[in-house]
Amino acid sequence: MNSVSAVANNTQAGQPFYRIGYVQVLIGIFVGALLGHLWPHFAVELKPLGDGFIRLIKMTIPAVIFCTVVSGIVGMKDVKKVGRVGVRSILYFEVVSTLALLIGLAVANWVRPGEGMNVDAATLDASAVVAFAGEAKQQSVVQFLLDIIPTTLLSAFSDGNVLQVVLVALLFGFVLSAMGERARPLSMLIDSVSVAVFDIIRLVLKLAPLGACGAIAFTVGRYGLASLGPLLKLVATFYFTAAVFIALVLGVIARLAGFSILKLLAYIREEIVLVFATSSSDAALPPLMKKMEQLGCSKSLVGLVLPTGYTFNTDGTSIYMTMAALFVAQATNVELSLSQQLAILGVAMVSSKGASGVSGAAFIALVATLSVIPDIPVAGMALLLGIERFMSEARALTNMIGNAVATIVMARWERELDVATLRQRLNDGKPSHSSEDATEGN
């Protein structure tokens, strides 16, 4: 069912189209773009609206993940199965994200978006890159693994580190499962907290149109489309590559798993609009978890796969890293050999994970990747700062869609998927009533 049909059905049900959640967000985007174009100085001041909305969503993520994972493990009652799901998920994430890295590399060699810019790196202001370079040096595989372990049980929640919360939830889940009936009161309490948290999310999502308006107003007011200039080719190439990756790669994976990628995109249209407006895939994590459950994926599997995928299955970021690395080289007239490009690919496979959870993660990971090829001037990354906001939108969208596909695939693989429910929901083009409450703010 397409968006027009969805609007018609909701209207027929007695609900005006302007009360539908994603329509309100689209209106917010339009108003924000208009403000950014007509009153850019005022629009830039609206940035806190978008930032505040994202922070409201992020504050609920630790509680959502903890409750979902713990309840899922207790309900699964099979520790070996939890471990198997984790291993298979990581394997899937690595294969697909590596494919994304290869596609970014191939397209950058084919289109050569930086060719002809003839930028002299010595003339660039690299001061803005210095801060990112300092953080990139601190990232390593060992440090990344150590960072998964929180300082205290509570610090995992206060710091908002997704993997730390998953680790704590896994430990709680295993222990409660082993306790059996003695843990029943605590398990029931966690289930009740989960319901309350999703009620909070439903309230917060009512502010989505306001957050979208502020985020888009800032982007258009601060940068404007005219600011893309000579970098428009890179932006267009990246968006095209991300679209091709979703349609072909994820489309084929979806077909092999027995569902249509186009129907899935229609089903999660509200989350797509939300992520595009805020340039943050985190904004869609809580409602996306609920929707994956509504599709027929088991609650335990959703809680394990989706949050982990947000760290390890970053398809959009992977495409960006290899493409941006080659763009900087091409723009500064640095010819890279095949071995150098393979070195970039190898380091990107690690650095894209090592910088997860850090502010400006993709940019930091790119600095770390470029540092292995001395011929490429890191100062050249200053060229990317002006378009970072535009690139982050496509990265976040691709990351989120990739993780939605991964969740269904893993559920099908583990036989934790109600196939009949999946087909019904996707054919209808919308979740059940309870999920719509959580995602559309009705």
Name the residue among 273, 300, 242, 279 with its Cα closest to residue 287.
273
377: left (phi over 0), alpha (psi -120 to 50) or beta: beta
Domain housing 236: 3-440
Over range 86-96, report the average pLDDT: 88
Q: Does residue 26 or residue 225 have the better pLDDT?
A: 26
Of the listed ranges 92-106, 185-199, 213-227, the one predicted with least confidence = 213-227
Please report, for the domain that includes residue 143, its CATH number: 1.10.3860.10
CA–CA distance from 440 to each of 201, 284, 399 (Å)?
11, 12, 21
Of the listed ranges 11-15, 52-56, 85-89, the one predicted with least confidence = 11-15
User: What is the C-alpha to C-alpha distance for residues 395 and 77, in angstroms, rounded to an integer?
Assistant: 36
**What is the pLDDT, as a whole number, of residue 434?**
42
For residue 223, name the pLDDT band (cuts at 50, 70, 90). low
Q: Which two tokens stand for residue 187?
A: 């398990």
Name the residue among 32, 112, 73, 50 with its Cα closest to residue 336.
112
Domain count, the chain: 1
For residue 99, name the pLDDT band (cuts at 50, 70, 90). very high
Query: Can you give the pTM of this predicted structure?
Result: 0.77
CA–CA distance from 348 to each of 192, 331, 353 (Å)?
41, 20, 8
Give yes or no for residue 3 having a pLDDT over 60: no
Q: What percent of the chain has pLDDT over 70?
A: 79
Give yes or no for residue 13 having a pLDDT over 50: no
Give yes or no for residue 399 having a pLDDT over 80: yes
Over range 142-165, report the average pLDDT: 76
User: What is the C-alpha to C-alpha distance for residues 100 and 322, in angstroms, rounded to an integer?
Assistant: 9
Q: What percent of the chain has pLDDT over 90?
A: 15
What's the whole-number average pLDDT of the chain?
78
Q: Which two tokens stand for residue 342?
A: 């393979």
Is residue 400 within 8 Å of 284, Cβ to Cβ?
yes
Q: What phi and psi, each to the nearest 5 degrees, are found at residue 417?
A: -130, 130
List, for residues 351-387, the tens digit of each pLDDT value.
666 444 444 566 667 776 777 777 887 777 777 776 7
Q: What phi and psi, each to the nearest 5 degrees, are found at residue 213?
A: -60, -45
Of the listed ranges 187-196, 241-250, 395-404, the one predicted with least confidence = 187-196
Give yes or no for residue 15 having a pLDDT over 70: no
**What is the pLDDT, as a whole number, of residue 251?**
95
Give yes or no for residue 146 having a pLDDT over 60: yes
List, for residues 290-347, the tens digit of each pLDDT value.
899 899 998 878 888 888 888 788 888 889 889 988 998 888 888 888 888 888 888 7
**What is the pLDDT, as a whole number, of residue 250?**
95
**What is the pLDDT, as a whole number, of residue 409?**
94
Over range 233-260, report the average pLDDT: 93
Cα dihedral angle (36, 38, 40, 46), rounded to 10 degrees? -50
